[in-house]
Amino acid sequence: MLQLLWNGLAYSGVSRVSDESEQKIVVLVNTLTIILSGFTLVFTVVSSIIFPTQVLWKLPLLYGVLIFGSLVLNGKGKRLLSRLYFTVVSLVFIGVMSYLVGGKVLFHFFLVTVALVQFFIYPTSQRSYMFTLAILAIAELAALHVWLPENGRLSAPPDVQKWIAAANIIGTGSLVLALSAHISSIYRTAESYLHIEREKSERLLLNILPATIVEKLRESPDTIAERFEECTILFSDIVGFTEMSHKLNAVDLVRLLNEIFSEFDDLAEKHNLEKIKTIGDAYMVVGGLPEPSQEHAERVARFALDMLEVIRRHRELSDLPLEIRIGIASGDAVAGVIGKKKFVYDLWGSSVNTASRMESSGIPGQVQVTEFTYELLKDKFHFERRGTVDLK
């Protein structure tokens, strides 16, 4: 029951706000209002028991009633007015109370917390209110400290004043500590959030670019281009994919392609190859860069055989006429990152063009390689000579 009442009051007016940061400020102002109203009620009851003849200690109850108006204003959607009302009522109450009790009890020190609160209850778009009212609170504190008489019109007995002063110091200090803890919590949350977002960005970047290239981009944002004297490039294309698109709905088609390419991605990682890109139903991968390797051709060849197995399995499961053409070429290539937006790590060179043509002129369900790739792999794999092929 109490939890429902608290939530109802603390979240008063939140439904009228769409901005998340503004919602948090509304909740904070409402929460401060509830706490201050509750505190003044408890303070008044305790003070009335200890000092039954003193009218002075009933004054905070009036403040508690008045400050509740800021919560009412928030509930009506008048957020700026609520914040101004909260601050002005606090400034006036502390000023009047300090005058009545005198400077000895240090009640005016609560103005420090009023100044600090301004930096929490105004968004950056209302920065002028934030600084103006914070400066006003500090100016009032300085003025009261200079001109307040030691004893006010309704001062407590001298032996009680020191205890009241100590209580006010504890109260002010506690509020400052609470606000400091809140600042620290915000800082830690922001730091944690930034760390999480940085990790997300890092993972996203590593999904687009090789790790070594990411490191180079950090060190220098200039254009990156490297020549590799020997690497092996593979192009593949799913045969009849266009025809299948007429048989399957768009969702099923994309799901099937995603399943196949996701398995290809896992295989590329398994064989320590670098995926370059996918274009439609085409898949491109390279071995031997950006980290050079003597086994680049063998790794790509084993990857190609695994690709055939993936397609065979999906053909049996889906009962679709799935086939794939694969072309492989070895040689030199230039690799680099181009563009400023949606940049990619890509390859250029005659070997790249040849690999693409080996795929387009290949036979579905088989892997076609160039003469140079054959020379690199002839002792490790079984080959069949196809004869002369006209590469367009």
pLDDT tens string 45-59: 776 776 666 666 667
Burial of 195 (0-12, 13-18, 19+ CB in 10 A): exposed
If one compares 93 and 179, the residue with the highest pLDDT of the two is: 93
In this structure, the answer to whether residues 231 and 364 fall within a common structural domain is yes
In the three-class reduction of DSSP (H, G, I as helix; E, B as strand; rest coil), residue 179 is classed as: helix
**Which backbone phi and psi does 369 adopt, to 5 degrees?**
-125, 160
Query: Among the three residues 201, 229, 253, which one is the final residue of a domain in this structure?
Result: 201
Lowest mean pLDDT among 189-193, 222-226, 241-245: 222-226
pLDDT tens column, 291-339? 888 888 889 999 999 999 998 888 888 777 888 899 999 988 888 777 6
Q: By percentage, how much of the chain surpasses pLDDT 70?
A: 84
Contact predicate 348/334, CB 8 Å: yes
Nearest-angstrom CA–CA distance, 298 and 175: 69
Is residue 9 situated within a structural domain?
Answer: yes
Contact predicate 346/277, CB 8 Å: yes
In this structure, the answer to whether residues 131 and 271 fall within a common structural domain is no
Strand partners, 324: 238
381 falls in which pLDDT band (50, 70, 90)?
confident
In this structure, the answer to whether residues 302 and 331 fall within a common structural domain is yes
Burial of 225 (0-12, 13-18, 19+ CB in 10 A): exposed
Residue 23, pLDDT score: 82
Residue 334, pLDDT score: 85
Torsion of CA 146, 150, 151, 153, to 10 degrees: -10
Is residue 391 situated within a structural domain?
Answer: no
Mean pLDDT of the chain: 81
Using DSSP bridges, classify how beta strands 224-239 and 344-348 pair: parallel, antiparallel or unpaired: unpaired
In this structure, the answer to whether residues 190 and 286 fall within a common structural domain is no
Nearest-angstrom CA–CA distance, 89 and 101: 18
**Which backbone phi and psi does 331 adopt, to 5 degrees?**
155, -160
How many separate domains does the chain show?
Answer: 2
Q: By percentage, how much of the chain surpasses pLDDT 90?
A: 11
In angstroms, how far is the first alpha carbon of the chain from the final one?
79
Query: Among the three residues 201, 232, 264, which one is the final residue of a domain in this structure?
Result: 201
Nearest-angstrom CA–CA distance, 38 and 113: 17
Residue type, 270: K
- The token pair at 62 is 């009036």
Segments forming the whole domain that contains residue 287: 218-377
In this structure, the answer to whether residues 195 and 55 fall within a common structural domain is yes
Whole-model pTM above 0.75?
Answer: no
pLDDT tens column, 266-281? 999 899 888 888 888 8
In this structure, the answer to whether residues 183 and 253 fall within a common structural domain is no
Burial of 324 (0-12, 13-18, 19+ CB in 10 A): buried
Nearest-angstrom CA–CA distance, 141 and 112: 8
Q: What is the separation of C-alpha 134 from the centre of its chain, rounded to a whole number of angstroms?
A: 31
If one compares 263 and 389, the residue with the highest pLDDT of the two is: 263
Is residue 386 situated within a structural domain?
Answer: no
Query: Among the three residues 173, 201, 229, which one is the final residue of a domain in this structure?
Result: 201
Burial of 58 (0-12, 13-18, 19+ CB in 10 A): middle
Helix ranges (H only) for the chain are 2-10, 20-50, 59-67, 69-75, 79-101, 111-121, 127-147, 158-208, 211-219, 241-247, 250-270, 296-318, 350-360, 371-377
In this structure, the answer to whether residues 165 and 40 fall within a common structural domain is yes
